[in-house]
Amino acid sequence: MKYISTRSSSVKYNFEKIFLKGLADDGGLFTPTTIPVYSEKDLNKFKDLSYSELAIELIFPFVGDTISKNDLSNIIKNSYKKFDDKNVVKISNLGNFKLLELFHGPTLAFKDIAMQFIGNLYEHYLNQNKKKINIVVATSGDTGSAAIDAIKGRKNMNVFVLHPDNKISSVQKKLMTTASEKNVYNLAIQGNFDDCQNIVKSLFADKKFSNSINMSGVNSINWARIIAQSVYYFYSYFKVLPFFKNVNFSVPTGNFGDVFSGYFAKKMGLPINKLIVATNSNDILHRAITRGDYASNPAIETLSPSMDIQIASNFERLIYDLNQGNSLETKKIMDKFKKEKKYIIPKDHLSKINLNFLSESLNEKELISSIRYTYENFKIVLDPHTAIGYGVLNKLNIDSNTIILATAHPSKFPEAIEKSLNIKTKLPAKLNYIMDQKEKYDKLENNTEAVKKFILKKLS
Ligand SMILES: *Cc1c(COP(=O)(O)O)cnc(C)c1O
C-alpha cells in the first residue's frame, strides 16, 4: 500500500513514513492510493472475529510491507490490554437506539482506541531504526490525555501537550497533568484551543525547528487514527445484525476524524446507510453538509469542549474524495479556504455528500435537554458529546436503526453533568486516585517562540 498527499500525487510514501510524519510537507493529509473493498461474502468471514482479530484483518492491508502480520498482531493485542472490556467496546441500548460505548480505555474517551495503537506503533518503528522523536500536540482535553497515556514512560520519545489554560474540565486536567513520567510535558497556554493548534501548526511549518527535533504529530489528521477507528464501525455493525438493517451511525463531530473513519468503512464495503454528523454550536460542518457553506467563524466555548472546532482538518479528505482524488484541485480549494476562511461546496458535490451524510447541531440549551431526557427516561447519564449524538436524532426525525457513538464517559465532564442534572458523577474506581495527585504543568504565554524555547530547553 502506498500513500500520497491530498495536495500532490507526485511522491509516493510507505506507511512507516506517513505514520511518523503525520502531515505532508505541502500541508496536505496523507491518503492511501487504493482501497480494499470487501464483498458481502468477505464481510461474512469477519462477522464472528473478536475486536482485536478484526482490527488485525482490517488494518493489515494498510501497513503494507512495513510490518509483518505477526508483529501487527502483537501490537494490536498489546494496545487493547488496558481496556476494561476484552472486546474493547461495548454495545448497549438507549431507547430504540444502540449506544456504541467507546470509552472503556485508560482515559475514558474514544481517542484511546487509536492512540494506544499509535503508541505501540511508534515503539515498533523507533526500535527498528534507533531514532528518537518528539511528539507535539494541541488538545482541548481528550487527545492530550489519550496521547500522554499512550506515550508516557516509553523510550526514545517525548510528548509535549499544549492545552488552553483553564478551558478544560477538571478531570481532563488531572488525567494529563498527574503523569509523573519524565518524557511528559504539559503546557497550559494563555489562550484558547485554536491558539494551541496554531502554535503547533507553526512549529511544524518551521522546517528547521521541526526537523531538528524530529517532531511528530498525533492529531486526528494522522492516517493511523483514521484506519484504527474504522474498525469499530465494522465490529458494531456485525453485532447489531440482523436486528438493524440499513444502519445509520450518529457521530459527535469536531475535526471530522471519527466520522470520516465511518465513511471510509463504507468505502471499504460496509453497507452503512447514513452517517450523521452531530455538532454543537460550532456548526461549520452542519452548515457545510446542509447548505454547502464551509465557512469558519471564531470558535465558541461550549459544554462539549472536544467539539469546539471551527476548522475541521479531516474535511479535506472528503473534499479530495469528492474531487475524485484530484490533488491539484484539492490544493486549490484548500489554499482558497486558507485565505478566505470560506469555501462554497458546488451543488453537484453537495448532492453526493447528501447520499452519505446527514447533519444537525444542538445549541447549549438543547444539549442540556438531551442529557436530562436520557437521564429521566432511561436512567442513563450521557457525556455532553454523546448527548449531542442522541439529541440530533430527534431533530432529524430518526427513530430507529441507528448506532450512536458514545465518545466519552460522563465522569470526564463533571461540570457539564452537574450543571445539567445537579448530580455528581463518579469516576471509574481505577481512576479515583488521580484526583488527589499533584498536578505538574508549565504556564506559557500564547506565543510560538515561547513554546519553541521551552521545548529546546527541555531537550538540551
Ligand atoms: C475528539 C472528540 C470528539 C470529536 O471527534 P473528531 O474526530 O474530532 O470529530 C467527540 N467527542 C469526544 C468526547 C472527543 O474527545
Is 0.75 surpassed by the pTM of this model? yes
pLDDT of residue 141: 86
Distance 139 CA to ligand 1 centre (A): 11
Q: Is 407 in the pocket of ligand 1 (CB under 6 A)?
A: yes
Tell me the C-alpha distance between 43 and 269, whole Å. 8
- The segments of the chain whose pLDDT lies below 70 read 243-244
| Residue 82 annotated among the catalytic residues of the structure | no
CA geometry: angle at 381 spanning 379 and 383, to 5°?
Answer: 160
pLDDT of residue 243: 66
Determine how β-strand 184-189 pairs with β-strand 215-216. unpaired
Query: For residue range 111-137, what is the model confidence (pLDDT) as tens digits?
Result: 999 999 999 999 999 998 888 999 999
Nearest Cα to Cα of residue 337 among 350, 319, 324: 319
Query: For residue range 327-340, what is the model confidence (pLDDT) as tens digits?
Result: 999 999 999 999 99
Query: For residue range 18-71, what is the model confidence (pLDDT) as tens digits?
Result: 999 888 888 899 999 999 999 999 999 999 999 999 999 999 999 988 999 999
Distance 10 CA to ligand 1 centre (A): 32
Q: Is 386 in the pocket of ligand 1 (CB under 6 A)?
A: no
Distance 128 CA to ligand 1 centre (A): 32
DSSP 3-state assignment of 95? coil
Tell me the C-alpha distance between 356 and 321, whole Å. 12
Q: Residue of the nearest CA to atom 14 in ligand 1? A: 306
Q: For residue 229, which atom of ligand 1 is closest to its CA? A: 7
Full strand arrangement of the beta sheet holding 442-444: 215-216, 133-138, 157-164, 184-189, 442-444
Which among 115, 303, 306, 412 is the best mutation to test ligand 1's pocket, defined by most ligand atoms within 8 Å of the CB? 306
Distance 407 CA to ligand 1 centre (A): 7
Q: Residue of the nearest CA to atom 12 in ligand 1? A: 407
